[in-house]
Structures are given as C-alpha cells and as structure tokens.
Chain A
C-alpha cells in the first residue's frame, strides 16, 4: 500500500444538470456545482482553502469562482486538459493536503461543451474558421484529421484487426452504459438500446458509429477532498482515496502513431502503480468508471488495466458483464456515452455516490442510503459497492486513474 492510502477522502460532490444548451456562463455553472458540493459535504465557503480546475481554453478559473462564492484560497491552480485530468487532480490534491498547502480542496470542471467550444474545434453555429496547422498540427490538420472520433478511430481500426474483435464488442459497451442511464434521472439519453440499434446507427468515422460516440453537453461538476479526520465530522459517509496514477504516459506520447502498437495504451504502464499503491487486485474491484469518450476507449482500458488479458475484451464484455447486477458494472451513471460529457469528473462523482450507497435514483429514500435494488422501479444502486476503480483516458498515450473505497454495502 502507498504511504497515503486511505488518508484523504472525497467528502462532497455536486453538479449542474447536463444541458444542451445551457444559455449560461461557465462561471455561473461552476458556482452552482461548487455550492452544491459544499452543501453535499456540509461545508461552508470559509472551510474551503484550495481550488483546482481543468479546461481546454473553454472555461472560467479558480480565482473567479472563489471570488463569486466568498472563498479565500491558500492554493489554486487551473490546468490544461480534458479526459484524464480529474484523477490527476485527485492525486495532486492528495500531495497538496499532505504537504500542508491547504486543508480542504475543490476540483471543478465547467464547460459549454455543446453550445460553446466543441471538441475538435467545430463552432456551434456551423463551419469552423480557417485553422492553423501549426506545431504538431502541421502533420494532422490538413488531412481532415480534426476530431477525436477520427483520432481514436485509427487506433480502433488497428485494434479490431489485431485482436479479432468486431464492432459488436463496442456495442456491448454502448448497451451497458445506456442501460445504466435508463436508471439515472440526470442522464440525457435514457431509452435503452440493443446491439442491433448500435449496428444500425450511422458511421461517423469507421469503425466508429454514432452510438460509439459520447454526447456533447453544457455542464459543471465539482468534488471536494479533505483529510479523513475532517471527513469523519462531515455530512456524508467518507470515500477513501486508496491510490492512483496521474497522467501516466506511454512512450512517444506526442506522436503516438510511431509506437509499435498504437492501441497498447497508457493504462498498461500505469496499472501496476495503481493497484500496487492501493494494495488490492483487479478481483477486489466492485465497480468501475472506464472512460467512455467512445465505446472503444472503455474496451481497450479493460485490457490495459488488467481486468482481462490483451485482446480478450471481445469475450470479456459478452453476456452483459459490464451491466449492473453482473460481474463488473461500468459507468453506472450512463457515462459520457449516455449521461453527458464532462471530461471525466462525472464518472468519479457516480462512483462516490455508489460507494456511499447513495446513488441518486428513483428510490424514495436514497438520500438515507436505503434502496430497493428493483431495476424495473429505477434503482441504480449496486448492492455491494465497496471498491471503485476510476480509469481516466486522455489519449491512447495518456491515462490517469484512482481507486476509491467506501465503508457501506
């Protein structure tokens, strides 16, 4: 186990609705998310003295949010990045708290991911302005290689060829995450889908179809971390941080396409650190959030983080294994494929709720941790959810992760 395993806890979570469009500023949404996370933890603005966020040139910053909410910070930092940032900032927070830089820290993401800046740079109202293919982009942009579906489509194509998987493997992921969204009142896409629905959906960038792609949403979400001693006095059952990795990289991360296998992703390099620090094995994990920018990213990370062997995901995902009440429920909120798109933080929030035994589902007494486990009645709570693995993804060559532990269930 790591020196700091179980020493720091996630004590508060909160978010705005997933909107398309929000008609709000990223500052307005961030304030709502942070205020809700404080209320969720039972903390006041004066209790918060650290704040970090991540963004892609599309958000507000910690100093604005702190000003609007009357928070005086001893530490703040706004970093650049999308997926893989949440777990990296959790690791960062643990280091800051241990070092005494601050006592209680907020991590937030706020983005108008649909109505503002969209991934790949497409403007909301239509065509993008002429884009400079400068720096690394001088070898990408002019090929019409401009969006994540095209970048990861390239790795997905080679993966299918090398592993013998088919796009039905991807379909299993889409179906599982959508089923979970059907149990999540907050999710945008709640109508269950079948393998056939997936196979019939239109191509976006072969081998990825529409139902392989995540949503684009306007949303803000926040989590609060503090020491376990403080956590015991707060409102919610504590969720302990057992271990993690922070933007672990494969070799040649800026030119992934030269690596011997472009789908041998960063998680392969991080998994022993992750499980070693947490002091557990994959078999101890009850639930996962496996980053689903695309169905492919979930698929490949099951292998990378060792939940199945290399090339074995095609068999592993069969029979609904990733669905609730099965062996390894994945993305219980519906994930980015079906709940909404936050660059990862909403997946961590769902795991926190599950570990507290307080999934915000249709059960009348969920806030007290009392659930029916009746899926037909809309219960989303996993019965035994003690350990969650959060498996973030930035690119094929960049990944962050965290293992969290609850004490209920």
Chain B
C-alpha cells in the first residue's frame, strides 16, 4: 500500500516490541517484574516503582470503551474520506488504557462502557495498527 496517506507511527527503542507484536497480530504491553504493574504506553522505567526490569506480555485484547469522540470534520488530508470516524480510549481488562479507532460498527453505535476487542489492520507491509471493534 504505497499510497497510504495517513501518518504512520515511528517506533522508538522503548516502543518497538509493541509494534513488532502488532505485526504478528498480538497485543503486547509491558509488565513490571518487580511490582507486577501493567504499563502502557511503552517506557523504560516502571512508573509505580521505578524498576527498570519491564517485561513484554501478551494480553487478551479485550476491554471496554472509556471515552470517545466522533470526528465529523477532517483535519488531516489522509482522513478526508473517512469522516465521520471514531477516536477512542479503550481500557483493557488488564487495566491500562490505549488510544485507538473503533471500527466494525456505525460511529453512532459507540457507547462508553461498550465491550470491545482488538483487531489488527495491516496498513503497510511494515506497519500494523491495533484497532478495536465491538466484542
């Protein structure tokens, strides 16, 4: 898909495992080996206990919508044909929250608290985005 016009993530050393897992259609987040806190976004130190030993674990991909907004006006040319589209915060069953798009239903059908599940969108040969759809 050389004509993919939307912005693409630029992984950092800390976040690269997240994006590599997404490419394998797995949702992975970090867990502190010392205090067991689940962590997102990817980072180098546990924000709870400052331990540097963070391990990547596969999570269920299940969660619920914490909040969302329905973009009715395109503010980026790559999304000009998408409006209206849903931008959301999903709270994973494991606790941390991710930002995402909700697909697979009409924007008007999205509700706070709605159960959702991760889905994987291979937008380019190198990059897969983790979106969510109604569970």
A residues contacting B by CB (< 8 A) are 120, 122, 126-128, 130-147, 149-150, 153-158, 161, 202-208, 252, 255, 257-258, 262
Q: What are 23 sample pairs from A and B whose C-beta atoms fall under 8 A apart?
A: A122-B75, A127-B80, A128-B76, A130-B5, A135-B10, A136-B41, A138-B10, A138-B12, A141-B76, A144-B87, A144-B101, A150-B71, A154-B68, A154-B69, A154-B88, A157-B67, A158-B66, A204-B72, A204-B73, A207-B69, A257-B99, A258-B40, A258-B96
Q: Scoring B residues 57 to 81 as 1 if CB is less than 8 Å from chain A, else 0, what string do you get?
A: 0000000001111111111111110
**Known contacts A141-B7, A144-B78, A150 near B100 by CB under 8 Å:** no
Is B97 part of the contact surface with A, judged by Cβ < 8 Å? yes
Contacts of B2 in A (CB 8 A): none
Of chain A, the residue at the smallest CB distance from B83 is A144
- Choose among B6, B9, B69, B89 the residue that contacts A138 (Cβ–Cβ < 8 A): B9
Contacts of A135 in B (CB 8 A): 10, 12
Q: Scoring B residues 73 to 114 as 1 if CB is less than 8 Å from chain A, else 0, what string do you get?
A: 111111110101101110000001111110000000000100
Alpha-carbon separation in the docked complex, A144 to B99 (Å): 11
CB pair A150–B89 under 8 Å, yes or no, is: no
CB pair A203–B70 under 8 Å, yes or no, is: yes
Alpha-carbon separation in the docked complex, A207 to B71 (Å): 9
Is B129 part of the contact surface with A, judged by Cβ < 8 Å? yes
Alpha-carbon separation in the docked complex, A212 to B8 (Å): 30
CB pair A128–B99 under 8 Å, yes or no, is: no
Contacts of A132 in B (CB 8 A): 7, 10
Alpha-carbon separation in the docked complex, A237 to B32 (Å): 59
Of chain B, the residue at the smallest CB distance from A151 is B69
Alpha-carbon separation in the docked complex, A142 to B99 (Å): 10
CB pair A143–B100 under 8 Å, yes or no, is: yes
CB pair A134–B10 under 8 Å, yes or no, is: yes
Alpha-carbon separation in the docked complex, A154 to B11 (Å): 25
CB pair A143–B99 under 8 Å, yes or no, is: yes
Alpha-carbon separation in the docked complex, A142 to B121 (Å): 12
**Known contacts A135-B12, A139-B41, A143-B100, A158 near B75 by CB under 8 Å:** no
Contacts of B47 in A (CB 8 A): 252
Of chain A, the residue at the smallest CB distance from B75 is A147
CB pair B99–A150 under 8 Å, yes or no, is: no
Main secondary structure of the interface of A (DSSP, over half): mixed
CB pair B89–A262 under 8 Å, yes or no, is: yes
Q: How far is the CB of A259 from chain B (nearest CB, A)?
A: 9
B residues contacting A by CB (< 8 A) are 5-12, 15, 40-41, 47, 66-80, 82, 84-85, 87-89, 96-101, 112, 129
Known interface pairs A131-B76, A142-B8, A257-B66; 8 further A-B residue pairs with C-beta atoms within 8 A, sorted by A's residue number: A122-B75, A133-B7, A144-B6, A146-B76, A150-B75, A157-B67, A158-B66, A262-B66
Alpha-carbon separation in the docked complex, A196 to B3 (Å): 43
Contacts of B10 in A (CB 8 A): 132-135, 138
CB pair B68–A144 under 8 Å, yes or no, is: no
Alpha-carbon separation in the docked complex, A39 to B66 (Å): 52
Contacts of B68 in A (CB 8 A): 154, 157
CB pair B9–A143 under 8 Å, yes or no, is: no
Of chain A, the residue at the smallest CB distance from B47 is A252
Alpha-carbon separation in the docked complex, A336 to B75 (Å): 20
- Choose among B8, B9, B78, B112 the residue that contacts A158 (Cβ–Cβ < 8 A): B112
Alpha-carbon separation in the docked complex, A255 to B99 (Å): 10
CB pair A150–B7 under 8 Å, yes or no, is: no
Alpha-carbon separation in the docked complex, A340 to B41 (Å): 36
CB pair B41–A255 under 8 Å, yes or no, is: yes
Alpha-carbon separation in the docked complex, A140 to B88 (Å): 10
- Choose among B67, B74, B75, B101 the residue that contacts A154 (Cβ–Cβ < 8 A): B67
Contacts of B8 in A (CB 8 A): 133, 142
Alpha-carbon separation in the docked complex, A145 to B71 (Å): 8
CB pair A202–B11 under 8 Å, yes or no, is: no
Q: How far is the CB of A299 from chain B (nearest CB, A)?
A: 16
CB pair B12–A154 under 8 Å, yes or no, is: no
Contacts of A139 in B (CB 8 A): 9, 41, 98-99
Alpha-carbon separation in the docked complex, A143 to B101 (Å): 6
Q: How far is the CB of A399 from chain B (nearest CB, A)?
A: 20
Alpha-carbon separation in the docked complex, A156 to B70 (Å): 12
CB pair B89–A154 under 8 Å, yes or no, is: yes
CB pair B72–A203 under 8 Å, yes or no, is: yes
Alpha-carbon separation in the docked complex, A208 to B75 (Å): 14
- Choose among A120, A130, A140, A202 the residue that contacts B99 (Cβ–Cβ < 8 A): A140
CB pair A257–B89 under 8 Å, yes or no, is: yes
Contacts of A134 in B (CB 8 A): 10, 12
Alpha-carbon separation in the docked complex, A145 to B102 (Å): 13
Contacts of A202 in B (CB 8 A): 72
**Known contacts A128-B77, A131-B76, A132-B7, A157 near B69 by CB under 8 Å:** yes
CB pair B96–A150 under 8 Å, yes or no, is: no
Alpha-carbon separation in the docked complex, A80 to B72 (Å): 30
Q: How far is the CB of B106 from chain A (nearest CB, A)?
A: 13
CB pair A138–B15 under 8 Å, yes or no, is: yes
CB pair A257–B97 under 8 Å, yes or no, is: yes
